[in-house]
Every structure is written in structure tokens, then in C-alpha cells.
Structure 1
Amino acid sequence: MKSPFLALRNAIILYSIGFTVSAILFIVHYSSREHIHTLRHMSYVYSGKCDDPYPLSYTMSLYKPLDEYKRVQFIFYKKTKMAIAVDICQRNGWTLRKTIHTREELKSQLQRKNVFSIVFTSSKELSNPYINKLLNRTNVLVSALPNAYLFSGAKREQHITFQRYLKRYDCSIHELKFMPVSFLMDFAQECKAFFKYMRLNRDLSEWVLKKSQGYGGDGVTIMSNKTAIKRMFNSCPSHGQYIMQEYIRDIILLNGRKFDIRALFIIANSRPYMLFYHEGYLRVVMKQFYESGGREVHLTNTHVQSQEPNFDPNDHFWSFKKLQSYLDVHYPENDEYVLSHLIPYIKKVAKFIVKSGIGLMNGDDIINGFQLLGLDFMISNDWHIWFIEANNYPLWPKGGWITQFSTKMGEDLFDLAISIRQRPEEFLRMHIYKMYKSWQLIWREDPPNCEEDYNPCNSLQQSN
């Protein structure tokens, strides 16, 4: 007589075999009709055609409408409060918390029941696993993505990220000339290459010395004395993290004054990555330009210019529309330059920057993060557009007309970042170049096996 335990074991084995066979047959049958791709936590049921891969499900937990929470609170974690963000907070009736500096304080605030938290912090803070886990919840919106500073923060890391990405396509920053020629002085090979380049290009009399970590013009020096440069870097590599960047000469001036262009972008989501563009503004120097002038003549940063006695925000900040009006009068041959040439190229650079950093951001770690980017550009006399650097915590300027601009931009930014998590399919079906309020979708990450044929060595070329 068979043992009842032996009979039970045999029954379980037979059942398991039958279930496994059935599952395999089901998968084979299902796969014959359609392919299933998973883009991180985004589930696609995909017909096999790459032109319209609409998702049927979104596996991250969705945000509830904000009015279902007892309170919405705005928290600055290890970041200085920004006036415009505070204004937006007050206009929406959100609770403003003091700047929090410790993990314990942050944890205490995030554990409040029925409270939605908007946390302003930096991408570097998210590299801490504890902070990362603490913020990774569906009642929190975080103003950063992990490691975004590697392509939009520290100047040294930006340079390394861009060079490595371009090397995959067999070109370089120097060859493309979309950025000024730059050298990392703490790398022996690049430090030596700088002095060789300086010897071969004796007509280049001025260089821009930048600290890798700098904000608002801090650590930026215009150097024209070659002897002083050699004395500062008497051996290679340098002891500190410095960048020597070629000074852009023969630039377009506005009423005899130097300016740069700040364009705004947001990586609004990381599953998949979605990049939106927002019109930016110009920062115009208060004094007339002359080559032997000091920092206040050469540096367009608002922090530097605001120290001038005659500082006027309405004269310092120009809109893109005002730039085009100026060009229409002084350079009538460049009709529609801003819309037809400047903005399209700015978008190409932004797309390149984000694509270069996708492998570094670890977007899976933060389901509720967004990243605001400020990209700076200049225009030379031959109408060549130069990308200067990216900023992952750009100033929201205030004063005069720019206050209303920043407030509208910020309100629409928060609306976009929250809505994309409340109604994900609406945004995943959104066509490229479609607007969401004042933000325009310019790029969305493709599903697996459907990546676009992209080559930055071609995309970043300029015809001028």
C-alpha cells in the first residue's frame, strides 16, 4: 500500500509539470500575436511597429489629486529658499517649511499622514541611498534626479560626460565647435595639451579660468597674461580642479554690451525620460564692453551684474522677443533668426546633453523626480551659437518683468511634473512639439529596440 505522503508528493509534481507546460504554451501563443517590451517600469504592449508604441499600462503608483490631501507642503532640503518658489507656494496656499538640514527632520516631515510634499533639493543629495529611499514615495515630488550634476552641474564632470559620449560616435567637442575649446587642468594629458594649444595659437590672448564647482560667476577669472597662466600652472596636472576655456571673441553686442542666453528645460519624468523646453531670457551686462574691462564687463551672471550701482532688472533681463526686435533693426538680414535658427539649435544641444547623461542618472531610483536645467549660450559675429555650460539648479530671477515670467514658468513646471504622474498615458501619447501650458515636449525616450537613429556628431553641426 502506497504511503499517503508519497501519493501527495506525486500529485504535486504532476500538477507543477502541467501548470508549467500550460504557461509555456500560453506565452508562445501570446507572443505570436504581439511583442511585449518593458521600458524600466513602463509596460508596453507593442505591435512591433516603432512609429506608435503607445503604452497600455503604467506600473508606478499614480498620484492622487492634490485636493485629496489634507495639506500640501513645500520643503527645502539643504537648499536656500528661492523667492519665486516661495511666492508660488503662497499663491497656491501650500504650507512652507523652513529649510531642513538633517535626515531626521526630513523623515519627520515626510511621515505626516495625508500630506503631499514638494521637496527642493539637489541631485547630489539623491546619491545618498537613505535619502533616495526616503523620498521615493507617491506623496512626494522631488526637484532632482540622481547624478544629474554629472552632465549639468560641476563643470569638470560636464566636460568629461560630453567627451565620453561623443567619443562613442568618433567625434569630439573640439571638432564640433559647439563649445569653446576647453581643457581639464587636473588631467596631466589635457594640461599639457592646453600649453601646446596656446603655443600654436598665439593670437588667442584671453582665456577663461573656471573652478569646477562655481555658482553665479564665483571662481571665474578672465586671464590674458600668459606668464601668469604659466606661473599658476607651473606643473601638470594642476593641484585643483580647474578648467581653461577659450574666450569667445568678436561676439554680437546689444547696444555695445555683452550678453548671454539662458534657455530652460525640464526632464519631467524618468520612466521614460521626457524633455520639455521653455523659452528663456537674455542676461545683458550693465556696462559698455571693452576688452580690458573687469569682471563686471565680461561676466553676464546676474549675481555679478546686480552689484553694479546702475543695475536695472528690466535692462539686464531681455526676452527672446526683445532680442529679435533688436536684430530686426540692427541686423535686418537675419529675419526670424530667433525662431528659425537660435531656438532649434538650443533644443538640439539640450537633447544631446540629456542623452549623454541617461546612463548616469539612475532614473529608476526616483520615480517622482524632475530636473530643471538652465543652458547658457553666446553668439559670435559670424552667428555661430556657442554652448557655454549647463546648470542643474538655475536661478529663478526676480525683479521687473522677469518676476511674472519666472512665476508663470514655475507654476506651469509644478503643474506639469504633478500632472504627468496623475495622467501618465495622456503625456505618453503626446506628440513631439506639442505644448503643455508654457512647456513644449521636444524629446521622449524610445521603447527598447526602437531607438532613433541619432548621431550627435551630425546633429550638433552648424551651417554657419
Structure 2
Amino acid sequence: MESFTRSASVKKNKDKSQTLNHTHLPNVKKKETFLRLKLSSIHTSHNWRNSSLTGIDLTLIREPPSSLIIPPHLFDEYEMNSSYVIISDSKNKTISKKNRKSVQLNTKRENSPDQLKDFAIEGIPSQTHKKVFKRPEFINTVKPRISIVKKTNKPEPHNESSVKEIIFWNWLGMIKTSNGFEIYPHRSQFKYYVGKGNNGSLVNHILKSRFWWTRTDCIEEANFVWTQLKNKTILDLIPSYKNCLEKDLNPLTLDSKIPKTLLNENQETFGFKLILESNSFLNLNKNYFLVADSIKTHNRLPNNNCICNKKEMFKNLKIYYDKVGIDIFDKVPLTFHIETGISDRNFQVFIDSFTEGSTWIIKPGEATNRGKGIKVSSSLNQIKELISRRHENRTYIIQKYIQNPFLINKRKFDIRCYALITSFANQLQGYFFKDGYLRTSCKEFNIKNTQDKFVHLTNDAVQKNHEDYGKYESGNKLSYYDFQKFLNSIGSNVDFFNDIFPQIVDIVKESIACAKNLINEEGKMNSFEILGYDFMIDTNFKVWLIEINTNPCLELGCSYLSKVIPDMLDNSFRIALDPMFPPPESHKRFKPWVKSCNLTNKYILVYSSLSSN
């Protein structure tokens, strides 16, 4: 009887439960998981599983790809930003800012995204689910600062520090756009190697000031190698890419988190318009997506001899000027390249040009600098003797001496300028540094005294050995402004910056143009070089190109050079290194660094091999 009663009670409760289920609970539709959307519902217009970033969620990049290049069609899906957050697993990287709220994180025990492809939970999440599956936290990382945007009619004030940060990222964006590449976000510590000689300690000091770089003595592991001479081993490690860069017909748009008037004002103040408003500036499609950790670069161009070698400079400039219909001897003094001594055909042409009393300068045809091997002579017999001294693989340049040089207090001088050439993929770009200096001689000019090198050779390596070095000018150097003061003092109406400076810029541009298909004929992905140009001025204020030097002297011989050369080097690295190896924005030292660094650009963009100008 008791068993029957218990059975009836259970049956009664069961019937009651069924009745309640049908009468009080609503109909529930099957729902997708509240933990994760199905992958098939995300960006169905693009098949991500067939892309090079295989097996990733749209909002979660597990680790940087091993290859250097990522296909350009991926840019449309990402809004690249320099900041990113490492979440839980150090390999999991994602872009913060706009995508931060959409980041989906795997729990520790969760299977891979492929295994969860069709995973779904039916029903309505209970309170228990909400407690267990709470919003993911950032573990073992610095939490990103999430700014709350308040609705207000007044624009937010911008302090000097925040404006400099925006200007800095605009600078990097401008250079990257002109080269057609984008950088994969990183938190790397890059390594650099600096070889000995030519004030390598200054180069080290400037790189050391960039907190995201560290020095290494192992040249093979360095991302950037600085040496006096070309290092073929390093150049061989830089890949070659000859895929064409293409112009973007849309106007350039830079990050404008500040009012346009303030942006334009700062671009003017920091010298950005020397590049942006150049006829050679191009807005290129970003055809390359670089992984900074994998990049190597060198401060030497593969075939720099094509303009830094005296005989090659003359040959290639002549080919270029003949092609564009310009007489090379309107830019370079009358020159003859002698390869086989007095029997050389060009030497016979030289003899026809030689007149009694004319003065000539004889130089080694191959790469030399610092005045080595240079002789001045007015004697034909002496010239014959000089070029008859046969050396293996040695040729000679015989050049007409400028017999009416413009003098400063009766002393000869030349002008040292700097240019930067960058090579990326199939584009060559040339920049001219606004600041340079005059190098003066210690002794008064006398065309008849051909034996005294202190009269004729203004190279620092020569003049610093004279007892009067620094007697008239500090370190025998004058700035452009000092030279203008001298012109004004003698009653000259010549304006250096309007009459002389443009002639120099034109010749620099033409010299880079003549090397367009030569200096990086191997199509190396990325390299650059700083060149030293030497010019002279005659009494008609006509500018003459004397030579182009690789490895120009970086010694700080006077207070003026202590300002010009470090500025030039730092500015060169802001063009050639920083866009390719940018600082990590999330690093605690980033804001103080930007606040204290010098962002002023003094380089004028004068040439692009992809531009018609």
C-alpha cells in the first residue's frame, strides 16, 4: 500500500511538472553561442581561410607571419595602428583601439577556432553562465587606457605633448606612404651594429637615444648595420623585390586628430612641407606589408660607386646630360678620363685643349677621398709623368682647374653639402639637407704656387695639419649665413639662398637622376646612404660640382659642426629608419621620448624615380 501511494505521488508530480512546462514557459528558439559568433557569420565576403593568414580569427592575430611580405589585399580588413595589446598568451596579438571591444579570447580549456566552427549552445544563458563566462580580463599585461568620449560642443584641448605625438605619427605615415609600405605592429627591441672609424661614437649616441634600439657586437643579428665601407654580406641578406610600386590617385589623408589649421601650422613649423609640397612627392598604394622584426638594412647602397667614384660619376653624368640636352661642362669643369696613360685617345684630346699657363688638377679615377693622390700642375711634362705611373686597376682624371675661384679674404674655399638617397623596392628617392658649410683654406690663393696643397685643397684632412688651422674661422668652417654676411660686407648684391643655393639643389637632383637604374640595380628591398657633395663657386657666382663622396667626414671639428652633423644624422634616421622600425607606442618611455625629441625636418625631397618631375 505504501509503495502504491509513493508511485502515485511521483506520477502526480511528474504530470504537474509537464503541465507547468507547457503552460508557463515560453517557446525558446535555438540561438547561436553567446560565447562566440560562428566564423561563417563574420565577413562572409572574404575567404580568410584561403589567405596567407591561415587559421586566425578576424579579431585575433596569434603571431606575426614568418614571411617578410603580407599580400596587400589584407589592408582593407585592418585599420593598421602602431599600438597593440598582448593578451594572456604572449603570442596572441591584436590591434587595440577600434577593435578592442570586439576581441574574442579563447578560454584556457577552449578548443581551437576550427574545432569550434559549428559550436553553439541552445537555450537562454542562466545566471550561472553569466558568472562563469564573465568578460575576459587582460592578464599579466598593462591594461590599455580606454578614453571615454564625452559629448560636448567644445573641442578637446590639445597640449604640446599630445600634438607632438600626433605630428610624429603623421611624419611616419607620410614617409611610409611615399614608399608604398605599411608595418606590422610590434613590441620588438631592434638591434644595431656600428663599425669603427669616422666618429662611429656619434652614430652610436644618436641610435642609443632611441629607446627601442639596443647595440650589438654581432653584425649578423643586427637589424641595422652602419659601417664605413659596404658590407657585401649584409647587403646579400637584404631581399630583392622588383614588384612595381603604384601611384594612389586618391589625395593623401593623414591622421587628423587635431584641427586642420593646427595640423598645417605644425607641418610648416616642423618642416614637413619640404617633402609634402615637393613636386617629387608621391602618394603610393601600400603594396608591401613589412614585419619589422624580420627586416635588415644597411647604410650603404649596393652600387654607390656609380656616382661616388670620380670616373664613374663623370661617365654617368655625361650620359645623363647628353640625354637631356645639357652640356656637362656647364656643371662640371672640363674633364678627361685617362685609362691607358699617354697613349690613351682621351689624352690626345687633352693635349689639344692644353694651353701654356693653364692649370689642371690630376686625381685618381677610382674611389679616394680626403685629398689623397691629388696633384695640381701647369706643366704638360709633369702631367705626362704623373699619368705614366701605372698602378694596377688605376686610371686618372685630368680636370681643368677653376682659375677664377671666388675667395673669402683672399683664401680659397669649397662648399660641403649632404644628400640622402633611399632605395625601397623599385623606387629611388633623393633628399637634400638644407644646412651645409664652407671649408676654407689656411693660406692665401696663388694660382702659380701649384706645389702647396694648403693653398688648393680645402679638405679638412689636409688643412688641419697646418699651423694656422682655425686661425681665421673656427675649424676653418663657415655657415651659409656667415657667408651671406661676408657677401653683404663686400657690397655684393648676391643672395646665397636665392642665387647660389638653387644651383646646388639642381645639380644634386641631376646627379641622383643619373644613377636611377644603377645605384640599386639589384632591386634591394631597403637600403640608404648619406653622401657628401663638394661644390665650388667662381667669380661669376656660377656653381661647379667637384665630387661626390661616400662615407663623408662626420668629425665635429668646431661648434657649428657640432650642431649641423648630429642634426643631419638624426634627420636621416627619421626618414630611413624610424618609419620602418617605429617605436612601440604602448611603451612607458614613448611619451617622454616624443616630448623631448627634435621633430624638425631639414631635408628637401628633390627626386623620386617614379615621378615625372
Same fold per superposition (TM over 0.5): yes
Equivalent position amino acid for 1:442 in 2: V
Cα distance in 1 for residues equivalent to 2:365 and 2:420: 25
Partner of 1:282: 438
Give the unaligned 5+ runs of structure 2. Answer: 1-69, 74-174, 240-290, 583-598
Partner of 2:275: none
Partner of 1:69: 188
Structure 1 residue 386: Cα displacement: 0.9
**Is it true that 1:387 corresponds to 2:508 in the alignment?**
no
Residues 412 and 441, structure 2, Cα contact 8 Å, conserved in 1 = yes
Q: Determine helix, strand or coil for the equivalent of 1:409.
A: helix
Residues 148 and 361, structure 1, Cα contact 8 Å, conserved in 2 = yes
| 2:566 paired residue among 393, 402, 407 | 407
Residues 500 and 541, structure 2, Cα contact 8 Å, conserved in 1 = no
Residues 277 and 442, structure 1, Cα contact 8 Å, conserved in 2 = yes
Partner of 1:432: none
Q: Determine helix, strand or coil for the equivalent of 1:145.
A: coil
Cα distance in 2 for residues equivalent to 1:57 and 1:225: 52
| 2:299 paired residue among 143, 146, 161 | 143
Where do 1:297-446 residues align within 5 Å?
A: 297-312=455-470, 314-334=474-494, 336=495, 338-362=496-520, 365-401=523-559, 402-421=561-580, 437-446=601-610
Q: Determine helix, strand or coil for the equivalent of 1:347.
A: helix
Residues 145 and 363, structure 1, Cα contact 8 Å, conserved in 2 = no
Structure 1 residue 344: Cα displacement: 0.8
Residues 186 and 237, structure 1, Cα contact 8 Å, conserved in 2 = no
Cα distance in 1 for residues equivalent to 2:542 and 2:512: 22
Q: Determine helix, strand or coil for the equivalent of 1:374.
A: strand
Partner of 1:296: 454
Partner of 1:12: none
Deviations 1:397-442 (A, max 9, x none): 303221121111111111121244369xxxxxxxxxxx96122222
Residues 43 and 55, structure 1, Cα contact 8 Å, conserved in 2 = no
| 1:118 paired residue among 216, 224, 235 | 224
Give the unaligned 5+ runs of structure 1. Answer: 1-40, 45-53, 99-104, 111-116, 424-434, 453-464
Q: What is the RMSD of the two structures over their aligned residues, measured on CA atoms?
A: 3.3
Q: Determine helix, strand or coil for the equivalent of 2:418.
A: strand
Structure 1 residue 43: Cα displacement: 8.5
Q: Determine helix, strand or coil for the equivalent of 1:358.
A: coil
Structure 1 residue 193: Cα displacement: 1.1
Structure 1 residue 280: Cα displacement: 1.1
Deviations 1:241-262 (A, max 9, x none): 1111111111111112110001
Q: Determine helix, strand or coil for the equivalent of 2:183.
A: coil
Structure 1 residue 363: Cα displacement: 5.9
Where do 1:198-217 residues align within 5 Å?
A: 198=354, 201-217=355-371
Partner of 2:205: 87
Equivalent position amino acid for 1:82 in 2: G
Cα distance in 1 for residues equivalent to 2:539 and 2:581: 47
Q: Determine helix, strand or coil for the equivalent of 1:369.
A: strand
Residues 302 and 520, structure 2, Cα contact 8 Å, conserved in 1 = yes
Structure 1 residue 443: Cα displacement: 2.5
Structure 1 residue 328: Cα displacement: 0.9
Equivalent position amino acid for 2:512 in 1: V
Partner of 1:224: 378
Equivalent position amino acid for 1:263 in 2: C
Size of the aligned set, in residue pairs, is 363
Equivalent position amino acid for 2:384 in 1: K
Cα distance in 1 for residues equivalent to 2:389 and 2:348: 9
| 1:233/1:446 CA distance change after superposition, 3 Å | closer
Between the aligned residues of both structures, percent identity stands at: 22
TM score, norm. by length of structure 2: 0.54
| 1:247/1:365 CA distance change after superposition, 3 Å | same
Cα distance in 1 for residues equivalent to 2:422 and 2:178: 19
Cα distance in 1 for residues equivalent to 2:338 and 2:390: 7
Cα distance in 1 for residues equivalent to 2:491 and 2:362: 29
Deviations 1:377-408 (A, max 9, x none): 11111211111111122112303221121111
Cα distance in 2 for residues equivalent to 1:300 and 1:380: 15
Residues 373 and 391, structure 1, Cα contact 8 Å, conserved in 2 = yes
Residues 305 and 367, structure 2, Cα contact 8 Å, conserved in 1 = no
| 1:63/1:212 CA distance change after superposition, 3 Å | farther
| 1:195/1:124 CA distance change after superposition, 3 Å | farther
**Is it true that 1:180 corresponds to 2:333 in the alignment?**
yes
| 1:314/1:42 CA distance change after superposition, 3 Å | farther
Partner of 2:219: 106
Structure 1 residue 63: Cα displacement: 6.8
Structure 1 residue 218: Cα displacement: 0.6
Structure 1 residue 141: Cα displacement: 3.1
Task: Flag the structure with higher helix content.
Answer: 1
| 1:185/1:92 CA distance change after superposition, 3 Å | same
Greater Cα shift, 321-330 or 82-91: 82-91
| 1:190 paired residue among 346, 355, 374 | 346
Where do 1:10-25 residues align within 5 Å?
A: none
Residues 211 and 219, structure 1, Cα contact 8 Å, conserved in 2 = no
Structure 1 residue 323: Cα displacement: 0.7
Cα distance in 2 for residues equivalent to 1:394 and 1:64: 35
Residues 263 and 375, structure 1, Cα contact 8 Å, conserved in 2 = yes
Equivalent position amino acid for 1:62 in 2: I
**Is it true that 1:157 corresponds to 2:321 in the alignment?**
no
Structure 1 residue 342: Cα displacement: 1.3
Residues 260 and 376, structure 1, Cα contact 8 Å, conserved in 2 = yes
Structure index of larger Rg: 2
Deviations 1:151-177 (A, max 9, x none): 1x2111111111222233355423xx2
Equivalent position amino acid for 2:419 in 1: F
Equivalent position amino acid for 1:280 in 2: G
Cα distance in 1 for residues equivalent to 2:519 and 2:305: 9
Structure 1 residue 235: Cα displacement: 10
